[in-house]
Amino acid sequence: MNSDKLKTGPSGASVRSLFYGMGYTREEIGRPLVGVVNSQNEIVPGHMLLDRIAEAVKRGVLLGGGTPVEFPSIAICDGIAMGHGGMKYPLASRELICDSIEAMAEAHQFDALVLIPNCDKITPGMLMAAARLNIPSVVISGGAMRAGFADGNTLDFNSIMEKIGVFKNGGCTEAELERVAEEACPGCGSCSGLFTANSMNCLTEALGMGLPYNGTALCDSGERIRLAKTAGLQVMEMLRRDIRPRDILTKKAFENAITVDMAMAGSTNTVLHLPAIAHEIGLSLDLNLFDKISERTPYIAKLSPSGRHHIEDLHRAGGVPALMSELAGHGLIHEDCVTVTGASTGENIKAVAVTDRSVILPPGEPYRNRGGIAVLKGNLAPGGAVVKESAVAEEMLKHSGPAVVFDSEEAATEAIWGRKIKNGDVIVIRYEGPRGGPGMREMLSPTSSIAGMHMDKDVALLTDGRFSGASRGASIGHISPEAMDGGPIGLIRNGDIIHIDIPGRSLSVDLSDDEIAERRKSFTLPEPKVKTGYLSRYARLVSSANTGAVLK
């Protein structure tokens, strides 16, 4: 065991002394030390109740013969950070989470880890750490929030964001806005739609790093507590059998996760996070792979923001195992992958059936024959761009219109609220990429404002930044190279005609190569927006969005 290096024999007496001082018994010290990484705090709804999960995990570890040792991880709420300078930090925090877990695990020589995330950047950050450390590890997420309900309507966090747009457009009173605010998030958990948090928790399961139903069992359910206890037990079994993350995180496992992602139209942020996790083990997942898998994957589960269903509905219908079983029946899932259960993917999903066909359609009768996420390329995005195709109105799948250019999210949002955007316009927000932002801010404020003002069928939005998993409409992000890297998006001027062809996978500006080259001659980069602290270091080290925005 790793921990034997520091706690056994005469030379380990000093370490044992420190453990004795904390109240550990000789028997506890002699067992495998299992780090329980708890990202609980009192500022993130998805993390508020994670102390309950940690206690259940520790019971499971004890039942399995190990000694659980809890330590913390930071966690940022994207919803609270949204729409201001604080949104520069969530994506950048992914690397801090990974690095800090590495530091704790290596410094204290843990034998295994149980990782407890729940929200957007915390789940991928912990998966990156598991891949990097390669000691037996299980991820047990905190579980989804229930959907809200008011006045005959099912609600989620996106409902209140769009209601703000309705209010700004004069479509509701302040009291009506507050009514939705009170009811949209009825309790703790990761926000109830298939936004980034729940997308990543479901894909953790598809990767094989989480137990079945990790992605969909609700936060406040007894099932979630049982899963946490099982995670503690199972990590001890993995330790005994020497099953490690790199046995699980193979190219086939990532292809399974991308397939599930496409079949249920997960957040576009998964296209950042899966490559970053793969990067930790030396695998490259380029955008072409996402598009190739999207081409062959039927879109069979339509959850908010693309549809009316929520995570609780997917769980009731059979969850990710049922979805994967349907896909496996059409030869779309690699069934021989190793998982944290000790069984293969095929064995985990073999006996699972869909119990609600209104939530999970048969693959032969999908919403669309292609997956929910599309990768676009062209002279505006030579390195690629990403859009949630499933959340785009049919009228906007192909669109051409004049560019209205902004150098920040705030300027664009102010223009939208000031009614300076016309039907047919293509809003371009640049210098918001990984380097330019820095931190590649999510832009739910402008997209939800456009939707709330009923312009989502008339206006497109392009950015080298990214969008919330809750965004809908013709919102095309991750444009690479970003403006701060000299990408063509930095050369666009007001009035340039932008051509969007999502079915044709094309994104271009109506400029010749000669005109682009001429504009580049006079192009100069602006001063960095942040010059001190962590974000300044991050901006100097971060790679492009099309490679996962990993640190060089």
- The token pair that represents 217 in the structure block: 């069992």
Contacts of 274 (CB under 8 A, 6+ apart): 124, 203, 254, 257, 258, 261, 285, 548
- The token pair that represents 537 in the structure block: 């270091």
DSSP state of 361: -
Type and span of the H or E element at 500: strand 497-501
Contact 54, 35 (CB under 8 A): no
Among 192, 325, 468, 471, the one annotated catalytic:
468
Q: How is 198-256 classified by DSSP, letter by letter?
A: HHHHHHHHHHTSS-TTTTTSBTTSHHHHHHHHHHHHHHHHHHHHT--HHHH--HHHHHH
Backbone angles phi, psi at 381, to 5 degrees: -140, 70
CA distances in angstroms from 435 to 285, 367, 428, 537, listed in the order given: 21, 37, 17, 10
Type and span of the H or E element at 115: strand 112-116
- Pairing verdict, β 33-38 and 67-72: parallel
Report the distance separating Cα 250 and Cα 207, nearest Å.
9
User: Does the annotation count 468 as an active-site position?
Assistant: yes
Written as one letter, the residue type at 188 is C
Closest of 473, 430, 432, 478 to residue 449, by C-alpha: 473
Contacts of 112 (CB under 8 A, 6+ apart): 32, 34, 35, 66, 135, 136, 137, 235, 236, 238, 239
Residue labelled with tokens 């024999």? 9
Contact 265, 343 (CB under 8 A): no
Q: Any idea which residues carry the catalytic annotation? A: 468
